[in-house]
């Protein structure tokens, strides 16, 4: 069942001199089972939007239908607690949410809060650990001894163990080295392909968006600017420039080739495909 | 988290905003002592005149200054209850068997409430009209003479400015961690006592960890730029007292002297 967002508005500190309208009427239908990227400049309302998805903040106006829940300005927190289990939200730099003495306890913290049985939690931890690239020897260690990248794996494991249907990730690869970032992204891809989880990704990294996502939602000034299939989207790099984001390298290369008079198949997004397009157009190598 | 009235600087362009922070701090000290002088209720009249003048010139609304009192109402009620139960001096007002209420219970509570209210208004006027950095600069300058007896004036001032600088950062951080833990099923409003304690723990531990992290990084950054607390340095902003400062200090001293006299008669 898709996520339906209707006329969503959100105002911070309403009724004070610090009032700030972050969302100004957002209408979206987000399909499930896909990998969706939400992009936009800082302050465009991305973070505010994703915090609505698990009812961390309630709309000032409008409504959200997600996982069988209908959230309106009058929704009570008590009624939506289970929604937070179904929609796992991983914040930027999630390593800062670790607090338990051992990694095992920290990973178990979420499901325990949602009332999952201890045996089941144990079983899930065993399943999740290899997924995030950790092994059982870590379980009894303190999360504070780990390196930054490992802490992030533990924090993400703490959300995955809740077995969410929808996984919302705010810049999950920020600050990681390229190798770990890639591992992290392929983990999410596996979750999407194998466990059929919906992945919503807030990202500034266009290479990741092009490589891993199915659909793109562009936010600008508290509104949705466009929502498109990812390959369709990167045919119009000017939308990206409008929000001051550089297109991925391959798209830039394509543009340059086109400007120099080469005819390029608009659907080619890999070097091999580009080379294929160019074959025959290059008369000779000098 | 957004209703911290006490201590927020309001960038208004009034003569009180332009006053020297040193004189404002000194005046606050004098007025604080005055508030606690046992001069009876009549002693509050000169203080109130002083406060009215300060509020008038600083263009602050009385309601703004009093906003900080709102959460203290329960404390005041609690104080009154305690005083009614234990106070055994003054005239007897009510007597039901063992339950006796004396007039001092009310007058003592009134004293405490008036004193706290006056203090809060005075402090609000100071912090609302003085930029935090000016305030610490003022403190540093005022503590300077005590350096001779080993008081690290500059270090104290630097600590205060760093603490002030990080208040908004820590509030942001708290909100972020609260949201992150809420996403993991923490519910700060509902649940049993043990659950609530666990919930608060899940908030405090990460907050401390990141605060220590930040402190380490800040210390490194300061050292990397050659920060030396004992170095002599010049100031971009040079403090200078004007006639307004002298007049205000004289006013405060007059109020103090009046109350001192009222103590003896």
A107-138: per-residue pLDDT in tens? 999 999 898 999 999 999 999 999 888 888 99
Residue among A13, A97, A114 whose CB faces B177 most closely? A97
pLDDT of the residue at A284: 59
Same domain, A213 and A257: no
In this model, does residue B4 exceed pLDDT 80? no
Residue among B177, B184, B201 whose CB faces A113 most closely? B184
For residue B218, the enclosing domain spans 167-228
Strand partners, A24: A9
Q: Do A84 and B185 touch (CB under 8 A)?
A: yes
Residues of chain B with pLDDT > 90, as a percent, come to: 39
Taking the Cβ of residue A110 and every Cβ of chain B, the question of whether any pair is shorter than 8 Å is answered with yes
First to last CA, chain B: 47
pLDDT of the residue at B2: 45
A134 alpha carbon, distance to own chain's centre: 22
Q: Work out the angle at residue B104's Cα, subtended by the Cα atoms of residues B98 and B107, and round it to the nearest 5 degrees.
A: 140
Provide the shortest C-alpha distance from residue A33 to chain B (in Å). 21
Same domain, A67 and A130: yes
Mean of all residue pLDDT scores within chain A:
90
Q: Do A18 and B2 touch (CB under 8 A)?
A: yes
pLDDT of the residue at B3: 47
d(CA A210, CA A212): 6
Same domain, B30 and B117: yes
Q: What is the pLDDT of residues B163-177, one digit of tens each?
A: 888 888 888 899 899
Kindly calculate the radius of gyration of chain B based on its CA atoms and give it in whole angstroms.
23
Q: What is the pLDDT of residues B24-56, one digit of tens each?
A: 999 999 999 999 998 888 999 999 999 999 999
The answer to whether B122 touches B31, Cβ cutoff 8 Å, is yes
In chain A, the number of structural domains is: 2
Tokens of B210: 């990141």
Residue among A18, A96, A113 whose CB faces B186 most closely? A113
The closest alpha carbon to A158, from B184, B179, B198, B188, belongs to B184
pLDDT of the residue at B244: 93
Same domain, B179 and B85: no
Q: Do A91 and B190 touch (CB under 8 A)?
A: no
Same domain, B6 and B117: yes
Which ipTM score applies to this complex?
0.86
Q: Which residues of A touch B183 (CB under 8 A)?
A: 54, 56, 84, 88-89, 91, 159
**Residue A189: strand, helix, or coil:** helix
d(CA B173, CA B225): 26
DSSP-derived pairing of the beta strands A69-71 and A166-170: unpaired
| Best mutation target, B64, B184, B212, to test chain A (most A CBs within 10 A) | B184
Same domain, B208 and B134: no
d(CA A35, CA A192): 7
Same domain, A9 and A108: yes
Is there a domain that residue B160 lies in? no
pLDDT of the residue at B239: 86
For residue A253, the enclosing domain spans 248-286
The answer to whether B50 touches B24, Cβ cutoff 8 Å, is no
CB-CB neighbours of A171 under 10 Å: 20
Residues of chain A with pLDDT > 70, as a percent, come to: 98
Same domain, A130 and A230: yes
DSSP code at position A219: E
Q: Provide the b/e sequence for A14-27 (b: ≥16 CB within 10 Å).
A: eeeeeeebbbeebe
Strand partners, B100: B95
Q: What is the pLDDT of residues A77-105, one digit of tens each?
A: 777 888 999 999 999 888 888 999 999 99
pTM exceeding the 0.80 threshold for the entire prediction: no
Same domain, B75 and B47: yes
Positive or negative: CA dihedral A118, A120, A126, A131: negative
Is there a domain that residue B84 lies in? yes
pLDDT of the residue at A283: 66
pLDDT of the residue at B50: 95
Same domain, A144 and A25: yes
Between residues B196 and A25, the one the model is more confident about: A25
Residue among A85, A89, A97 whose CB faces B206 most closely? A97
Same domain, A225 and A98: yes
Same domain, A16 and A33: yes
d(CA A159, CA B24): 52
Tokens of A199: 């992945």
Provide the shortest C-alpha distance from residue B208 to chain A (in Å). 10
The pLDDT of A22-36, averaged and rounded, is 93
DSSP character string of B207-228: HHHHHHHHHHHHHHHHHHTT--
Q: Which residues of A touch B173 (CB under 8 A)?
A: 96
Provide the shortest C-alpha distance from residue A137 to chain B (in Å). 23
Backbone angles phi, psi at A13, to 5 degrees: 45, 50
DSSP-derived pairing of the beta strands A35-39 and A198-202: parallel
B218 alpha carbon, distance to own chain's centre: 26
Nearest-by-CA chain A residue for B183: A84
Taking the Cβ of residue A164 and every Cβ of chain B, the question of whether any pair is shorter than 8 Å is answered with no
C-alpha dist (Å) from residue A239 to A245, A265, B12: 9, 20, 42
Same domain, A180 and A220: yes
Name residues whose C-beta falls within 8 Å of residue B156's C-beta, 6 or more positions apart in sequence: B139, B140, B143
Q: Which residues of A touch B179 (CB under 8 A)?
A: 51, 56, 89, 91
Q: Provide the b/e sequence for B19-28 (b: ≥16 CB within 10 Å).
A: bbbbbbbbbb
Q: What is the pLDDT of residues B85-96, one digit of tens each?
A: 888 888 888 888
The pLDDT of B104-124, averaged and rounded, is 90
B64 pLDDT tier (thresholds 50, 70, 90):
confident
d(CA B265, CA B263): 6
The pLDDT of A3-11, averaged and rounded, is 94
**Containing H/E element for A106?**
helix A103-113
Same domain, A229 and A283: no
Residues in chain B: 265
The CATH code of the domain that includes A51 is 3.40.50.300
**Residue A244: strand, helix, or coil:** coil
Same domain, A33 and A58: yes
Same domain, B173 and B46: no
Is there a domain that residue B233 lies in? no
Q: Provide the b/e sequence for B172-191 (b: ≥16 CB within 10 Å).
A: ebbebbbbbbbbbbbbeeee
CB half-sphere exposure, A242, CA atoms < 13 A? 12
Taking the Cβ of residue A12 and every Cβ of chain B, the question of whether any pair is shorter than 8 Å is answered with no
B137 alpha carbon, distance to own chain's centre: 17
Q: Do A99 and B190 touch (CB under 8 A)?
A: no
In this model, does residue B152 exceed pLDDT 70? yes
| Best mutation target, B183, B197, B209, to test chain A (most A CBs within 10 A) | B183
Same domain, A252 and A242: no
Nearest-by-CA chain B residue for A94: B180
Tokens of A42: 């800082």
Q: Do B190 and A78 touch (CB under 8 A)?
A: yes
In chain B, the number of structural domains is: 2
Tokens of B196: 């609530």
Same domain, A208 and A280: no
Backbone angles phi, psi at B169, to 5 degrees: -60, -45
């Amino acid at each position: 069942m898709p996520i339906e967002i209707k006329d969503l508005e959100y105002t911070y500190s309403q009724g004070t001199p610090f009032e700030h309208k972050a969302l100004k009427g957002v209408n979206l239908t987000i399909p499930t089972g896909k990998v969706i990227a939400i992009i936009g400049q800082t302050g465009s309302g991305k973070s505010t939007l994703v915090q609505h998805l698990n009812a961390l903040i309630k709309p000032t106006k409008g409504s959200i239908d997600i996982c069988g829940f209908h959230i309106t300005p009058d929704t009570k927190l008590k009624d939506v607690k289970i929604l937070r289990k179904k929609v796992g939200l991983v914040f930027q730099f999630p390593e800062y949410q670790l607090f338990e003495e051992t990694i095992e306890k920290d990973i178990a913290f979420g499901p325990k809060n949602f009332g999952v049985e201890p045996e089941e939690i144990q079983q899930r931890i065993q399943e999740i650990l290899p997924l995030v690239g950790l092994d059982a020897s870590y379980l009894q260690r303190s999360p504070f001894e780990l390196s930054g990248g490992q802490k992030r794996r533990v924090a993400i494991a703490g959300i995955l163990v809740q077995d969410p249907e929808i996984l919302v990730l705010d810049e999950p690869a920020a600050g990681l080295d390229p190798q770990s970032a890639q591992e992290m992204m392929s983990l999410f891809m596996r979750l999407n392909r194998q466990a059929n989880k919906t992945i919503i990704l807030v990202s500034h990294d266009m290479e990741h968006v092009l490589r891993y996502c199915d659909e793109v939602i562009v936010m600008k000034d508290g509104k949705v600017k466009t929502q498109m299939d990812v390959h369709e989207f990167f045919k119009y790099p000017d939308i990206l420039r409008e929000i001051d984001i550089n297109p991925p390298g391959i798209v830039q290369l394509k543009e340059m080739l086109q400007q120099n008079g080469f005819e390029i198949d608009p659907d080619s997004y890999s070097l091999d495909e580009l080379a294929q397009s160019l074959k025959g157009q290059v008369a000779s190598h000098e | 988290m957004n209703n911290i009235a006490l201590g927020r600087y309001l960038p208004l362009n009034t003569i009180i905003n332009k006053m020297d922070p040193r004189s404002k701090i000194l005046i606050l000290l004098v007025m604080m002592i005055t508030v606690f002088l046992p001069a009876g209720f009549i002693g509050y009249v000169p203080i109130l005149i002083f406060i009215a003048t300060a509020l008038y010139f600083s263009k602050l609304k009385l309601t703004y200054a009093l906003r900080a009192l709102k959460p203290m109402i329960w404390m005041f009620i609690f104080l009154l209850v305690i005083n009614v139960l234990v106070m055994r001096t003054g005239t007897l007002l009510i007597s039901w068997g063992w339950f006796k209420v004396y007039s001092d219970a009310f007058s003592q509570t009134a004293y405490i409430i008036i004193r706290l209210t006056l203090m809060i208004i005075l402090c609000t006027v100071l912090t609302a009209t003085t930029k935090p950095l000016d305030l610490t600069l003022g403190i540093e300058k005022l503590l300077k003479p005590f350096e001779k007896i080993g008081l690290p004036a500059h270090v104290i001032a630097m600590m205060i400015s760093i603490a002030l600088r990080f208040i908004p950062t820590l509030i942001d951080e708290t909100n972020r961690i609260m949201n992150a833990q809420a996403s993991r099923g923490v519910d700060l409003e509902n649940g049993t006592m043990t659950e609530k304690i666990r919930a608060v723990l899940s908030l405090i531990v990460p907050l401390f960890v990141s605060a220590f992290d930040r402190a380490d990084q800040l210390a490194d950054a300061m050292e990397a730029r050659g920060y030396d607390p004992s170095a002599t340095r010049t100031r971009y902003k040079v403090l200078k007292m004007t006639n307004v400062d002298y007049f205000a200090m004289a006013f405060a001293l007059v109020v103090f002297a009046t109350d001192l006299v009222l103590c003896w008669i």
